Chains A and B, each alone.
Chain A
Amino acid sequence: MNFFFEVLIGGLLSGVMYALVALGFVMIYKASGVFNFAQGAMVYLAALSVVGCMEKGAPLWLAIILAFVIMTLFGIATEKFVLRKLVNQPPIALFMATIGLAFFIEGLAPMIFGSEPRALELGIVDEPIPWVLDNWNMVISKFDLVAAGVAAVLVATLALFFQYTRIGRALRAVADDHQAALSIGIPLQHIWAIVWGVAGFVALVAGMMWGARNGVQFALTFTALKALPVLILGGFTSVPGAIVGGLIIGASEKLAEIYIPPVMQDLFGGNFGGIEGWFPYVLALLFLLVRPEGLFGEKHIDRV
Chain B
Amino acid sequence: MLYREAGQFKTTYAADQQIFPIRQDRIGVIALLVVAFIGVPLFASEYWFSAILIPFLIFALAALGLNVLTGYAGQLSLGSAAFMAVGAYAAYNFQLRIEGIPILVSFICAGLTAAGVGILFGLPSLRIKGFYLAVATLAAQFFIVWCLTKFPWLSNNSSSGVISTQRLIIFGHELTTPVEKYLLVLSIVVVMALAAKNMVRSATGRAWMAVRDMDVAASVIGIKLMPTKLLAFAVSSFYCGVAGALYAFCYLGSVEPDGFSLEMSFKILFMIIIGGVGSIMGSFLGAAFILLLPIFLDIALPFFAELFGLPFSSATVSHIQITVFGALIMFFLIVEPHGLARLWQIAKEKLRLWPFPH
Contact = CB atoms under 8 A, between A and B. Distances in A.
Decide if the interface of chain A is mainly helix, strand, loop or mixed: helix
Given A99-B329, A107-B326, A85 B334 contact: yes
Contacts of B320: 107, 111
Interface stretch (A123-131, A137-145, A179-187, A265-273): A265-273
Contacts of B123: 289
Contacts of A16: none
Contacts of A292: 127-128, 132
A281 B220 contact: no
A232 B326 contact: no
Interface stretch (B94-102, B142-150, B175-183): B142-150
Given A99-B269, A285-B136, A304-B216, 6 more contacts: A100-B326, A104-B327, A225-B138, A277-B146, A281-B136, A304-B217
B208 to A, nearest CB: 15
Nearest to A41: B326
Interface string A101-131: 1111111101100010000000000000000
Indicate the member of A101, A228, A236, A272 with the most B CB atoms within 10 Å. A228
Contact of A103 (B135, B214, B329): B329
Interface stretch (A87-95, A161-169, A242-250): A87-95
A96 B321 contact: no
Main secondary structure of the interface of B (DSSP, over half): helix
A229 interface: yes
B146 A100 contact: no
B322 interface: yes
A105 B334 CA distance: 18
B316 A288 contact: no
B326 A288 contact: no
B226 interface: no
B303 interface: no
Most buried by B among A86, A91, A99: A99
B15 interface: no
B134 A95 contact: yes
Contact of B138 (A89, A103, A281): A281
B142 A107 contact: no
Given A236-B131, A270-B151, A285-B136, A278 B323 contact: no
Interface residues of A, number: 49
Interface in B317-358: 318-330, 333-334, 337
Looking at A35, A103, A289, the one whose CB has the most chain B CB atoms below 10 A away is: A103
Contacts of B136: 232, 281, 284-285, 288
A281 B142 contact: yes
Contacts of B253: none
A304 B328 contact: no
Interface residues of B, number: 48
21 contacts: A92-B74, A99-B329, A100-B329, A100-B330, A105-B326, A106-B326, A107-B318, A108-B323, A110-B315, A110-B319, A111-B316, A111-B323, A270-B152, A274-B149, A277-B142, A281-B135, A281-B136, A281-B138, A281-B142, A282-B139, A289-B123
Contacts of B216: 302-304
B323 A288 contact: no
B233 to A, nearest CB: 14
A107 B327 CA distance: 10
Interface of A: 35, 82, 85-86, 89, 91-93, 95-97, 99-108, 110-111, 115, 225, 228-229, 231-232, 236, 268, 270-272, 274-275, 277-278, 281-282, 284-285, 288-289, 292, 294, 302-304
Given A104-B323, A281-B138, A284-B136, A115 B150 contact: no
Contacts of A275: 146
B269 A284 contact: no
Given A89-B337, A107-B323, A278 B146 contact: yes
B84 to A, nearest CB: 17
A160 to B, nearest CB: 27
A289 B325 CA distance: 35
A107 B324 contact: yes
A20 B140 CA distance: 25
Contact of B124 (A95, A107, A288): A288
A282 B143 contact: yes
B329 A281 contact: no
Given A107-B322, A111-B316, A100 B132 contact: no
Contacts of B304: none
A96 B269 contact: yes
Contacts of A278: 139, 142-143, 146
Contacts of B215: 302
A96 B135 contact: no
Contact of B322 (A103, A231, A236, A285): A103
Interface string B65-85: 000000000101000000000
A102 B149 CA distance: 28
B135 A97 contact: no
B130 interface: yes
Contact of A97 (B128, B266, B318, B330): B330
A105 B319 CA distance: 10
A289 B322 contact: no
A114 B76 CA distance: 34
Listed residue (A92, A95, A304) with the most chain B CB atoms within 10 angstroms of its CB: A92
B83 to A, nearest CB: 15
A289 B124 contact: yes
Nearest to A95: B131
A299 B134 CA distance: 19
Contacts of A282: 139, 143
Given A101-B326, A106-B326, A35 B124 contact: no
B185 interface: no
A89 B333 contact: yes
A270 B147 CA distance: 12
A283 B136 CA distance: 10
B273 interface: yes
